[in-house]
Structure 1
Amino acid sequence: MDSYVPEDAGTKKDLFESAHLAAIALGLRPSARSILSQLVGFFREPINGLYLVWPSNEFLSDRTGLSDRAIRYAIGELIRAGVILARDSANGKRFAVRSKQGQILDAYGFNLSPLLARKDELQARTDAIREFQRARMALFDQITICRRAAQEALYALSALEMSIDTSDLQAEYERLVALSPRRTSSQPVEPVLSLWQSLKTTLEDRYNAACGGKNSRLIENNKDSPDQSCNKRQRDNESEINLPDLCAACPDAFGYVESVGNDRELLSAAAGLRGAIGIHRSAWDEAMEKIGPLRASAAFFVVLEIYSADQSGEMKIKNPGGYFRNYVRMIESGQIDLAEVIRYMRRKKAH
């Protein structure tokens, strides 16, 4: 029975567009998609208002590389999905009925009219699927943001106070990494996102508490032009670094140098020592550019102090070069207040 005849004649381009929409909206398997594409490609022009095609299985096999059995399964899937109709001849073969002059009068094979008739429906379903996928990808993006924030907070806690116990938070972080679904999976995302947001909040609260209740995130509040703002903020931040406080906060680190009496000697000492613990020249240049020479030098001695004092055997800083590079980026982004860290470490050493 021929039905689903479209009210308006469609072109071959319309058929290809409908086939593409059907593949997405109906979730067709790859084999069915391939066969549908070949059926549309076989089409030439409507016959008596019907979109008829009659390719043999041999033709379809040559074009797709599928076996005869796979072709039959794919055709059955397309018929069940309601995008094509079978037009069987008496002997089960597919062929065109021609006049004596060679004009095609009818054909036995498949009717593609339902595919074209359902184009608007398929478009609506495809749009809904794509919107769902966009919303789902946005949730995965939020998970990525929370995961990175949690990782940076763990680094910050380790740098802020060497004796702080973050084993429970590290274990929860690793559990959530294993629990998080892949973007290609069909598992629900919202429950995992909620857990990541909770961990992120917990880590930030613990970090702020360790800073004495002071939120150490950068607050951007100026009306300078972009270049003036950057230069002014770098000068202001460098003026916050107090050399006596730094020396008191990092006694083990300064034990590697003879004496540091001014900022120039501090910079020279840091530049001379950075290679000894595996900090690459590119990481040092990046630090100088991003946070300024004085803060880069102070950050180096803070990292060296943590690295030197770590005698636990676990080696919290397994890669000093990578740790220093990440530490500098967190200072630049405002996630670590270097001056506050130095004051905190000095107070800890005094007790």
Structure 2
Amino acid sequence: MQTGNVTTPFGRRSVKFALVKSQLDMKEGRAHQAIPKWKVFRDICEARGILGLHDRALAVLDALLSFYPEAELSNERSLVVFPSNAQLSLRAHGISGTTLRRHLAALIDAGVIHRHDSPNGKRYAHRGKTGEIEKAFGFSLAPLVFRAGEFAHLAQSVAEERRLYKRTKEALTICRRDVRKLISAAVEEGIDGDWEGIEGQYIGLLVRLGRSPAHQVMAAVLEDLEMLREEIVNLLEIHLKTEKINGNDIQNGCHKQNSNTESIHELEPSSENEQDETSTHEPKRMVEPTKAFPLGMVLKACPQIVDYASGGAVSNWREMMSAAVVVRSMLGVSPSAYQEASDTLGPENAATAIACILERAGHINSAGGYLRDLTRKAARGEFSLGPMLMALMRANTVSARKSA
């Protein structure tokens, strides 16, 4: 068994106080302990970044451990191994002598092994009559026994750090995806908000990440991204609540119109054709509502509906449909006729049809009957709002030229 005395390196190599201190610490440590050598080796591999060791140094340590005959490192036995450089190089996958010496020095500086040099610097052992090693000179593996708990703790901390890094990276990826897609959806839907400014904040956070961000940087950016995502969600939630309130207002408006059972607007006159078709009780053919025309085009063809909008302006389809409800009531179109038009043409096109009827109100005897007639023709594929809008746009252009 080794005495554990402080030893110094052979030749020109100087001794460092850290080496002396570690050897003294081992003398004061536990006297009897057995550690599985490959368990401590795996811990060192896990903590190699903290210890400042490279893969080649670990290959050299693996070679050194292979010269220790037992599966467990024990203070009860000699912990000094004494292979030659040629033998070490062979077991370390054939690395060169210069590389071998450099990584042996790295293992010593990291406190993983100690030198236990002979008087002439050679590595050998004195054996007793029974063949047992009495004294050996080479590399001492005693630090592996003494620091086994420390290496295990370092390995656990590295594994935990890697786990947290992976979780943070996953959360960051999801948050980046959420923010990117929520911004795109808000812009595509035309929802009110400073989306250009929010986009700038998003890009600025991504710039902070760089190419290989540390865990602390990723965690800080993730926190800021989560706050940005929450801000976006709040804006979308406010929009949805506003849209719901406006939708309820429209429904309540229609209900108020229906509540007056004696209103002559509920009984608008229908054409003879309508009465004949109604009497046949033919089943209605379901058609897919056509795509809405651009709002700017509709307002250019039907400018009068703006006068019935809340605030005297129409900036989106929600305001357009709210104005159409008011005009519907004014023209005497029943809610059932307007609902049927909405089901057949689509809500936006139904509002557009009301705006067109308003422009031609002086030439239409029954706005409700006219709307029902347009709805039936549209259901049969015999009517489109496009020609009507174009005709109104041309008429407005001629009127503007004459007035000029």
TM class by shorter-chain length? 0.5 to 0.7
Which one-letter code corresponds to 1:21 in the other structure? D
User: Post-superposition shift, 1:344?
Assistant: 9.1
The question of 1:55 aligning with 2:77 is answered no
2:139 aligned counterpart, secondary structure = strand
1:96 aligned counterpart, secondary structure = strand
The question of 1:202 aligning with 2:231 is answered yes
Bigger drift between 35-44 and 177-186 goes to 177-186
Aligned residues: 232
1:173 aligned counterpart, secondary structure = helix
1:180-195 pair list within 5 angstroms: 180-181=209-210, 185=214, 188-195=217-224
1:189 aligned counterpart, secondary structure = helix
CA 1:92 to 1:163, structure 2 compared with 1: closer, same or farther past 3 Å?
Answer: same
Q: State the match for 1:114 in structure 2.
A: 143
CA contact (8 A) 1:84 1:110 kept: yes
Q: State the match for 1:250 in structure 2.
A: 292
User: Post-superposition shift, 1:161?
Assistant: 2.2
Q: Please, which runs of 5 or more residues in structure 2 have no aligned partner? A: 7-22, 245-285, 295-345, 356-404
Return the alpha-carbon distance in structure 2 between the equivalents of residues 350 and 202 of structure 1: 38
CA 1:48 to 1:7, structure 2 compared with 1: closer, same or farther past 3 Å?
Answer: closer
Q: Please, which runs of 5 or more residues in structure 1 have no aligned partner? A: 216-241, 253-341
CA contact (8 A) 1:47 1:104 kept: no
1:1-351 pair list within 5 angstroms: 1=5, 4=26, 7-10=31-34, 14-25=36-47, 26-27=50-51, 28-45=53-70, 49-64=77-92, 65-99=94-128, 102-161=131-190, 166-181=195-210, 185=214, 188-213=217-242, 247=290, 250-251=292-293
CA 1:40 to 1:344, structure 2 compared with 1: closer, same or farther past 3 Å?
Answer: farther
- CA deviations on 1:219-271 (whole Å, 9 max, x unpaired) are xxxxxxxxxxxxxxxxxxxxxxx988x54x6347xxxxxxxxxxxxxxxxxxx
CA 1:54 to 1:162, structure 2 compared with 1: closer, same or farther past 3 Å?
Answer: same
Return the alpha-carbon distance in structure 2 between the equivalents of residues 60 and 84 of structure 1: 15
Identical aligned residues as a percent:
25
Return the alpha-carbon distance in structure 1 between the equivalents of residues 78 and 180 of structure 2: 61
CA 1:100 to 1:212, structure 2 compared with 1: closer, same or farther past 3 Å?
Answer: closer
Which one-letter code corresponds to 1:50 in the other structure? S
Q: TM-score, normalised by structure 2?
A: 0.48
What is the Cα-based RMSD across aligned positions, in Å? 3.8
Return the alpha-carbon distance in structure 1 between the equivalents of residues 54 and 141 of structure 2: 18
CA 1:209 to 1:16, structure 2 compared with 1: closer, same or farther past 3 Å?
Answer: same
Return the alpha-carbon distance in structure 2 between the equivalents of residues 349 and 97 of structure 1: 108
User: Post-superposition shift, 1:103?
Assistant: 4.5
Return the alpha-carbon distance in structure 2 between the equivalents of residues 143 and 35 of structure 1: 39
Instruction: Please tell me whether Structure 1 or Structure 2 has the larger radius of gyration of its CA atoms.
Output: 2
CA 1:141 to 1:47, structure 2 compared with 1: closer, same or farther past 3 Å?
Answer: closer
Which one-letter code corresponds to 2:90 in the other structure? D
Structure of greater relative contact order (alpha carbons < 8 Å, 6+ residues apart): 1
Bigger drift between 139-148 and 44-53 goes to 44-53
Q: TM-score, normalised by structure 1?
A: 0.55
Return the alpha-carbon distance in structure 1 between the equivalents of residues 66 and 349 of structure 2: 73
User: Post-superposition shift, 1:146?
Assistant: 1.2
Return the alpha-carbon distance in structure 1 between the equivalents of residues 197 and 148 of structure 2: 54
CA 1:8 to 1:165, structure 2 compared with 1: closer, same or farther past 3 Å?
Answer: same
CA contact (8 A) 1:47 1:105 kept: no
CA contact (8 A) 1:160 1:345 kept: no
Q: State the match for 1:330 in structure 2.
A: none
Bigger drift between 98-107 and 170-179 goes to 98-107
CA 1:164 to 1:173, structure 2 compared with 1: closer, same or farther past 3 Å?
Answer: same
